[in-house]
């Protein structure tokens, strides 16, 4: 669920928002395009770089990456969200109709292409519209409501790459479709906030309500009148936005604009009683849950499908918000109907995984390095027969859910013991020629150096005891 943001780039005209040109059916055979003719090959083998704005997740990054994944997965399951996966490629119109024309995401950032059949497709820039599409396509309105779904996947936006802003990035998100209730919004904010908190990052929720579509329309009339009266004080880009997408002026970080916006009309004053009550209930639930939040009257997330609650989550210690939010979301009551479904309400959030990776790294850099706790086991081997037996024992342990460090490619026992020391395991299980013959394993306590011999048949129970899984 993208949020509109301030950009200084000149708008590029794209034809996707115009009526599609209908091609006449031709009887001619399609001309086969050869990709190899058009792709400029590098003359130096192995010198390819990643595409601008896209990056690899290397084994070094993957420890944090997987930690975030498992945290997200476990919290989503704990709150009874079911996993969904939708295709990365969608019809471009899906996002034009949902996110709306006049937004950066649709007008400038979508990865658009025609496939070989001439279908106008895109790489998804966000997931909410895809999930709404899936909800309609699979008749999920006939399931018990609400339908709670979570996802993890890559999104694509052709934006200007900078710190924390990529062209391919990843989101974890949750959507609750089929219920218009403040407790749904509070639950989603709680899941988003607690995912970040469980990762050890202090965060702050920024929250606002933009009411119903009708209330917002009234507010926009008032806002446009006000902005026109202050036109001469506004930055050039905001002047241009008054007519095109006035809500985006509220997003401006320009000092001149901020001063004007602060004095201007606030959307909260345009909400009717029902919208106000709804919003107050969301805030009461957050108080109950001790979730820290600030009311942010300029937070509007400027997309066509939002209504009522909107929120974003920032690292708590960051005054400078230019690197962007860790995540955001809101209620999207009009969306399902906008996409041709029934009048079904929905609400959701998405967190940016790359932004969380940055926050985790910054946190680690700030804190003093703490040596990892003594723990875990290393399985070492010496000699070809022992190596074979080690492979067998590894599988035996894995089937019992026991994961041990090992390196079958290193024949030297010295090297293996050095590694075991470095990663601070409590014990190393050693199998050499003699142990293979005797059917035993030598167990070395890495702290005291004391060694004992145990029967290979007992290895699973011994490993469990050493790991504290079993007494």
Binding residues for ligand AMP, rule: CB under 6 A, are: 1-3, 126, 157, 159, 164-166, 169, 171, 324-328, 350, 352, 354-355
Minimum CB separation of residue 352 from ligand AMP in Å reads 2
Which helix (H) or strand (E) is 255 found in, with range? helix 255-263
Phi, psi of 165 (to 5 degrees): -130, 115
Minimum CB separation of residue 430 from ligand AMP in Å reads 46
Nearer to ligand AMP, 172 or 378 (CB): 172
Rounded distance between C-alpha atoms, residue 304 and residue 1, angstroms:
11
Nearer to ligand AMP, 359 or 393 (CB): 359
DSSP reduced 3-state for 137: helix
Nearer to ligand AMP, 75 or 377 (CB): 75
DSSP secondary-structure letter at 162?
B
Q: Where are the beta strands (DSSP E) in 160-262?
A: 168-177, 203-209
Rounded to the nearest 10 degrees, the angle between the axes of helix 273-288 and helix 182-198 is 40
Minimum CB separation of residue 152 from ligand AMP in Å reads 12
DSSP secondary-structure letter at 10?
P
Q: Are the CB atoms for 289 and 79 separated by under 8 Å? A: no
Rounded distance between C-alpha atoms, residue 256 and residue 86, angstroms:
43
Q: Where are the beta strands (DSSP E) in 124-182?
A: 147-156, 168-177
Minimum CB separation of residue 168 from ligand AMP in Å reads 8
Minimum CB separation of residue 210 from ligand AMP in Å reads 14
- Tokens 């937070």, residue? 299
Q: Are the CB atoms for 57 and 65 separated by under 8 Å? A: yes
Minimum CB separation of residue 4 from ligand AMP in Å reads 8
Minimum CB separation of residue 130 from ligand AMP in Å reads 12
Which helix (H) or strand (E) is 365 found in, with range? helix 353-366
Minimum CB separation of residue 292 from ligand AMP in Å reads 17
Minimum CB separation of residue 306 from ligand AMP in Å reads 10
Minimum CB separation of residue 243 from ligand AMP in Å reads 23
Nearer to ligand AMP, 185 or 435 (CB): 185
Nearer to ligand AMP, 4 or 416 (CB): 4
Sign of dihedral through CA atoms 92, 98, 100, 105? negative
Query: 203 CB contacts (<8 Å, ≥6 apart)?
Result: 193, 196, 197, 292, 313, 314, 315, 316, 326
Nearer to ligand AMP, 11 or 375 (CB): 11
Nearer to ligand AMP, 62 or 470 (CB): 62
Rounded distance between C-alpha atoms, residue 112 and residue 90, angstroms:
10
Minimum CB separation of residue 127 from ligand AMP in Å reads 8
Nearer to ligand AMP, 325 or 431 (CB): 325
Nearer to ligand AMP, 350 or 416 (CB): 350
Nearer to ligand AMP, 326 or 436 (CB): 326
Residue 127, exposed/middle/buried by CB under 10 A (0-12, 13-18, 19+)? buried
| Closest chain position to ligand AMP (CB) | 352
Minimum CB separation of residue 165 from ligand AMP in Å reads 4
Phi, psi of 350 (to 5 degrees): -140, 145
- The alpha carbon torsion through 383, 385, 391, 393 (nearest 10 deg) reads -110
Beta bridge partners of 444: 428, 451
DSSP reduced 3-state for 371: coil
Question: In angstroms, what CA-CA distances link 453 with 27, 86, 381, 434, 443?
Answer: 80, 53, 15, 11, 6
**Tokens of residue 150, six digits:** 């979570």
Q: Are the CB atoms for 174 and 75 separated by under 8 Å? A: no
Nearer to ligand AMP, 3 or 148 (CB): 3
Nearer to ligand AMP, 302 or 345 (CB): 302
Phi, psi of 245 (to 5 degrees): -155, 75
């Amino acid at each position: 669920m993208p949020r509109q943001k301030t950009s200084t780039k000149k708008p590029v005209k794209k034809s996707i928002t115009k009526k599609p040109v209908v091609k006449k059916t031709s009887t001619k055979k399609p001309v086969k395009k050869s990709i190899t003719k058009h792709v400029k090959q590098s003359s130096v083998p192995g010198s390819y770089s990643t595409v601008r704005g896209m990056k690899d997740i290397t084994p070094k990054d993957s420890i944090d990456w997987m930690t975030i994944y498992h945290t997200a997965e476990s919290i989503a399951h704990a709150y009874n969200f079911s996993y969904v996966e939708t295709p990365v490629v969608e019809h471009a119109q899906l996002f034009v109709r949902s996110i709306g024309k006049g937004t950066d995401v649709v007008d400038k950032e979508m990865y658009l292409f025609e496939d070989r059949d001439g279908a106008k497709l895109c790489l998804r820039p966000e997931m909410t519209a895809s999930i709404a599409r899936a909800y309609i396509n699979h008749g999920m309105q006939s399931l018990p409501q609400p339908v709670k779904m979570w996802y993890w996947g890559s999104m694509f936006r052709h934006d200007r790459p900078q710190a924390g802003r990529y062209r391919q990035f990843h989101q974890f998100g949750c959507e609750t479709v089929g219920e218009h209730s403040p407790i749904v919004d509070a639950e989603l904010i709680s899941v988003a906030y607690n995912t970040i908190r469980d990762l050890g990052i202090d965060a702050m929720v920024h929250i606002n309500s933009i009411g119903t579509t009708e209330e917002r329309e009234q507010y926009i009339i008032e806002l446009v009148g006000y902005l026109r009266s202050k036109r001469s004080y506004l930055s050039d880009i905001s002047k241009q936005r008054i007519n095109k997408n006035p809500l985006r002026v509220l997003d401006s970080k320009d000092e001149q604009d901020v001063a004007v916006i602060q004095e201007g009309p606030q959307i909260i004053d345009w909400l009717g009683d029902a919208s106000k009550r709804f919003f107050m209930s969301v805030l009461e639930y957050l108080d109950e849950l001790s979730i820290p939040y600030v009311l942010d009257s300029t937070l509007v997330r400027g997309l066509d499908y939002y209504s009522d609650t909107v929120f974003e989550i920032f690292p708590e210690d960051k005054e400078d918000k230019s690197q962007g939010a860790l995540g955001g979301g809101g209620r999207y009551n009009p969306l399902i109907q906008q996409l041709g479904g029934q009048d079904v309400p929905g609400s959701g959030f998405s967190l940016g995984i790359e932004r969380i990776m940055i926050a985790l790294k910054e946190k680690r850099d700030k804190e003093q390095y703490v040596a990892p706790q003594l723990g875990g086991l290393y399985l070492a081997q010496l000699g070809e027969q022992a190596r074979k037996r080690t492979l067998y024992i590894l599988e035996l342990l894995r089937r019992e859910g026991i994961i041990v460090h090992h390196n079958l490619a290193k024949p030297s026992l010295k090297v293996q013991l050095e590694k075991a020391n470095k990663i601070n395991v409590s014990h190393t299980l050693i199998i050499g020629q003699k142990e293979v013959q005797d059917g035993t394993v030598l167990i070395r306590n890495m702290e005291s150096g004391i060694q004992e011999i145990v029967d290979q048949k007992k290895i699973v129970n011994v490993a469990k005891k050493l790991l504290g899984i079993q007494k």
